Amino acid sequence: MDNILELKNITKFYGDKIKTQVLFGLDLSFERGSFNSIIGQSGSGKSTLLNILGTLDRPTDGDIIINGKNTKSLNANALSQLRNENLGFIFQFHYLLPEFTALENILMPVRILGKKIDKEVMARAEELIELVGLTKVKNNLATQMSGGQQQRTAIARALMNQAAIILADEPTGNLDSDTTEQIYDLMRMINKKYQTTFIIITHDQSVAEKTDRIIEIKDGRILMDVRKDK
Amino acid sequence: MNFMKRAFLSLIRRKGKSLILLIIIFILSNVMAGSIAIGQASRNVETTMKQQLGANASVEMDWEKMQNWTEEQWQNVQYVTPAMADQIGALPYVKYFDYNTEAYINSTSLKMYDPNMMDQEYNYFPLRGVNYAPVLDIANGTATLVEGRVFSEEDIAKANYVVLISDKLAEQNNVFVGDIIMLNNEFQIWKEGDVEPDKITRDIALEVIGIFSPKVNTNQEENGGWIDYTPFNRMYVPNGVVNAENRWMTEQYMIAYPDSGITPDQLEQVYINPVFVLNNPEEVESFRTEAMTYLPDYYKVIVSSDAYDSVAGPIKFIGSLSNTILYVAIGATILILSLVVILFLRDRKHELGIYLSLGESKSKVMAQILIEVVAIAVLGITLSLFTGNSIAEATSQSMMDLRAGIEGGGSDNPMLRQNMIYNPGGITEEDVMEAYSIQFSWDYVLILYGVGVGTVLLSSIAPMIYILRLKPKKIMM
């Protein structure tokens, strides 16, 4: 399988006067349709890595190639567009727009892309709503849904632009064990159905063990990179 | 266009916060609207009054400069001569001018108009010599011709003994156009030990060719002292008539007092109070500067706008106060709105982070917030258009009353009543106050929207900087 996302010799320093290096020449690549997890202790550099993967932060040195495009030379607007078209985010705190309904939240990436909400777009939104099991509450405001429903909405939103890569930061960190299981199953189903690449940052060992590849980060370096046989 | 739709939805669905912002903007807009309406009314009064006054100028001695003069300086004082007036009158700014010579002449057959006075032995009438045939005071509105005619060029050139008198004086003395009135120029010679002076009298017969009605304010007409009736007792005659009578008086003086040192040159001395009507009110200052080059340095040029300035105290006070209030309101609006919007944005930090992480550009996020704030501002300003106007009316009246209280009643300026300030339109403080009116004009609407929206945009600078500094990775992760 081809690589949808590649990191080449990624280095990251923080600070102006006193520089602290948090990532040390990381080389990583993720195959299209793979289901990955990144684990590591607090301060290991995994969140910095996710920010760089998601183009929310730029590395001090090194290259990021997303879907064949090197992000190094892109300006802020081009980077935003690349992010919108290729990446979907799922956060620990679902961060829905409280004034909008579940359906409107799911449609938001399309609106931001400047596309018209036509029949085709609506059909995809409905399909995703059905997929994540929100048909009954699709017209509820975000504040009128449970934590699990909100996280499902966030997952559907991440998929709305047919993102090839989903970056999930502790997606089940705020949920009970039953709901965690449901969300994991949902992500796995989406991975299989749409061949969406998942990169999940988690503390939850049980979630990490269910992924096809576990990358452990320690002190800004890759300590372990284990692929399971499918 | 989607950020616009988001802005609209956000406004509709965040009703509470939208309402709070609307109330704040409405209150501050009212202060701005009131200040703008008051400031505009003050400027309108000034424009109207100055138009009414026209572009007139006179030349007078500057008594302040002459306060510490020596006796020698006083002896050598040089008066404005017709030649000087001619030079000034030839300046390109001058439409027409008049010397305005003056003489006070008694009449034994006419009674002065003064309802407060009993019959008296002497009735001295102020004669104003006219060089400008249409008569300056009639041309500039200080008086209106009600019957007969003004002077002809021939009357002026030949110094015909013709006269214009006021309607009140004509009525009191039963005089009509075409009648001949008699004045008696009288020179009195006082010798040592005399109880009564010797009198030399020269009779002057003047044909009444016109009757005018002077413009005076009601207050002056009803309650004024003797000086207030001068406009009713003033007679307009050709300049040559006044010069001839003044010359006759000087001749009598030379005969009666041969040792007085009066020279034949002084016989030719003519005392004038020239008035210049200018082509354009905006050229007043240029005229003032150039006219001064033809005058002794103890003279000053007084323009009609000076008369406005001397009576416009309350309006200027209100105008100046409204300006200050407007600046304070703009400052307060920028500060309060900036803080309130930033406070609201802090609450919406996650929302903004979501937009940015979903790939929205910061410029569109800023545009969304700007649209939200400006939309509420336009609504607030629109509402305040009407309330601000009413507030301005109520506030103006209170401020005028306050100012009138400070000035001790604020009636007309005594300097004006005594003609110490040239005031061709005869405007008083009451005229100025009456001309003051708060209006709902297009200018007011446009200025309020301009100032209001401009202020709101300035208030948005700090919130926009806040958005620029937002980093989604810090918000979301």
Q: Distances in Å between the alpha carbon of B282 and those of B17, B55, B56, B278? A: 51, 8, 11, 9
State whether A97 and B472 contact (CB < 8 Å). no
Q: Which two tokens stand for residue A160?
A: 């709305």
What is the least distance, in Å, from the CA of A84 to any CA of chain B?
Answer: 5
State whether B6 and A111 contact (CB < 8 Å). yes
Give the HSE-up count for residue B87: Cα atoms under 13 Å, Cβ half-sphere: 11
b/e sequence A98-118, b meaning 16+ C-beta within 10 Å: bbbbbbbbbbbbbbbbeeeee
ipTM higher than 0.90?
no
Q: Please list, in sequence order, all residues whose beta carbon lies within 8 angstroms of the beta carbon of residue A76, skipping any fewer than 6 positions away.
A: B361, B362
Distance from C-alpha of A90 to C-alpha of B68, rounded to nearest angstrom: 91
Q: Dmax of chain A from CA atoms?
A: 54
Q: Evaluate the CA torsion angle B423, B427, B428, B433 in order and state its sign.
A: negative
Distance from C-alpha of A70 to C-alpha of B399, rounded to nearest angstrom: 70
> Which residues of chain B are at the A interface, by a Cβ-Cβ cutoff of 8 Å?
2, 5-6, 9-10, 13-14, 350-351, 353-362, 364, 471-473, 476-477
What is the least distance, in Å, from the CA of A229 to any CA of chain B?
Answer: 31
Q: Counting Cβ atoms within 10 Å, is residue B52 exposed (0-12), middle (13-18) or buried (19+)?
A: middle
Q: Which two tokens stand for residue B71?
A: 């006796």
Q: Where are the domains of chain B?
A: 2-51+313-476, 101-271
Say whether domain A3-227 belongs to CATH 3.40.50.2300: no
Q: Please list, in sequence order, all residues whose beta carbon lies within 8 angstroms of the beta carbon of residue B299, skipping any fewer than 6 positions away.
A: B59, B60, B61, B62, B80, B292
Which amino acid is it at B365? Answer: V
What is the least distance, in Å, from the CA of B361 to any CA of chain A?
Answer: 6
Q: Do A85 and A57 contact (CB within 8 A), yes or no?
A: no
In chain A, whose CA is at the least distance from the CA of B11? Answer: A99
Q: Does A14 touch chain B (CB under 8 A)?
A: no
Closest by Cβ to B473, choosing from A51, A95, A100: A51
Closest by Cβ to B10, choosing from A50, A89, A99: A99
pLDDT tens, residue order, chain B (477 aa): 477 888 888 888 888 888 998 999 999 899 888 888 888 888 877 777 776 666 778 888 888 888 888 888 887 788 888 888 888 988 999 888 888 888 889 888 888 888 777 777 778 899 999 888 898 888 877 889 999 999 999 999 899 999 999 999 999 999 999 999 999 988 888 777 777 788 888 999 999 999 999 987 555 545 544 456 888 999 999 988 988 888 888 888 888 888 777 776 776 677 788 888 888 877 888 898 999 999 888 888 888 777 677 667 777 777 888 888 889 989 998 999 889 888 888 888 888 888 887 778 888 888 888 999 999 999 999 999 888 888 888 877 776 666 555 554 433 443 343 343 345 445 666 666 667 777 778 888 898 899 888 998 888 888 888 887 777 666 655
b/e sequence B76-104, b meaning 16+ C-beta within 10 Å: eeeebbbebbeebbebebbebbbbbbebe
